[in-house]
Amino acid sequence: MLFGEHAVVYGSPCIVTAVDQRVRVSVEPNGEGEIHVCSPNVGLDEYHKKIGSLGKDDLPKSMAFVEMLVKRFYEKYQIKEGIRISTESDFSTQFGFGSSAAVVSALSKALSGYWEITMSKKEMFELAYQAVLDVQGVGSGFDVAASVYGGTIYYVTPGKVIERIYTGDLPMVIGYTGVKADTPTLVRQVAELKRNEKWVESVFGDIASLVNEAKKYFSTKDFVQLGKLMDRNQELLSTLNVSSKELDLLIKVARKSGAEGAKLSGAGGGDCMIALVKDEGRAQVGEAINQAGGVWMQVKTGAEGVRWEK
């Protein structure tokens, strides 16, 4: 997430980009009336569930998104046959890089290919987003949109607008705090604040205006102005109490070491921060993040969305 956290849940726009770390999903027959899942990256070597029981009983946290996506797909297309699903990831799920969104997006692509069903990107987005809502209960879907469509996009919940606004890698450094954030809890925390404090609406309005201003600067590649808007977005998010001492520290050192601007990325509470940095300054800012106790995540932005690989 580049701009617009939390306000996006209530219909305001946001700007989000896809990173080049990928989740891979493969599907094959198993000859049984069950779903078998192998996901060693989340510690599950083998998970079994009868098709008629999908979505029922307690769902293991690591399997909930996969199971609900399969349930939705099977109900939509009236499928009864069992399959074996295998997943692998380029990155650890601890980093808060939208891994659940990537999994459901990749799985929707894999299932449609396996069953030879033509699905548009919009259809894949809607199916994957619904699976996320089934599990979390809340969420704006921006991470699903980034996973399906790729690139850097301007997004309005629930997929009302999905518009590509920038192509290619952004001059950006990403830092991980070392703290795993709980997105649903943070979203509910802001919702409670919104119910009790009238001023939150004006903060959301300021964030929406900022996002629309940022959209214009992407078209002109004015990263100095975008950096200033990042700093302003961070100030607004701090008033919602979603930043943290770890995020604040990494943001501070990034700015001090040459970033044009920096902010948290996502729900807050931990996970990642981002900084806009001229290409020649990336290493300096990245090393400063490492020295402050964070982890410099060396990834490219504006990556391609869901795709076939052989």
Residue entry with tokens 């109900």: 75
The H or E element that residue 299 is part of is none
State the Cα–Cα distance between residues 136 and 155, nearest whole angstrom.
Answer: 20
pLDDT in tens, 101-159: 999 999 999 999 999 999 999 999 999 999 999 998 878 999 999 999 999 999 999 99
Q: Are strands 261-265 and 272-276 parallel, antiparallel or unpaired?
A: antiparallel
Provide the CATH number for the domain formed by 23-149 in this structure. Answer: 3.30.230.10
Burial class (CB in 10 A: 0-12, 13-18, 19+), 298: exposed
Is the separation of the CB atoms in 16 and 2 below 8 Å? yes
20 is catalytic: no
Q: Which pTM does this prediction carry?
A: 0.92
CA 273, CA 290: separation in Å to the nearest integer? 13
- Asked if the model's pLDDT at residue 45 lies above 80, the reply is no
Sheet arrangement for strand 44-50: 23-29, 83-89, 34-39, 44-50
CA distances from 112 to 6, 60, 77, 101 (A): 32, 24, 10, 17
Residues 103/23, Cβ–Cβ less than 8 Å? yes
- The structure tokens listed for 225 are 């102005």
At residue 163 the predicted structure's pLDDT band, cuts being 50, 70 and 90, is very high
Assess contact for 187 and 139: CB atoms under 8 A: yes
pLDDT score for 90: 83
What does the chain come to in residues? 310
Res 92: pLDDT: 65
Ramachandran quadrant class, 47 (left: phi over 0; alpha: psi -120 to 50; beta: rest):
beta
Tell me the per-residue pLDDT of 223-267, one tens digit each, with 9 for 90 and over: 999 999 999 999 999 999 999 999 999 999 999 999 999 999 999
Given 20, 58, 90, 143, which residue is catalytic?
143
- At 51, is the pLDDT very low, low, confident or very high (cuts 50, 70, 90)? very high
Asked if residue 63 has pLDDT above 90, the reply is no
Q: What is the pLDDT of residues 178-207, one digit of tens each?
A: 999 888 899 999 999 999 999 999 999 999
pLDDT for position 37: 92
How many CB atoms within 10 Å of residue 41? 15
Ordered by start, the domain boundaries in the chain are 23-149, 170-297
Domain 170-297 = CATH 3.30.565.10 = no
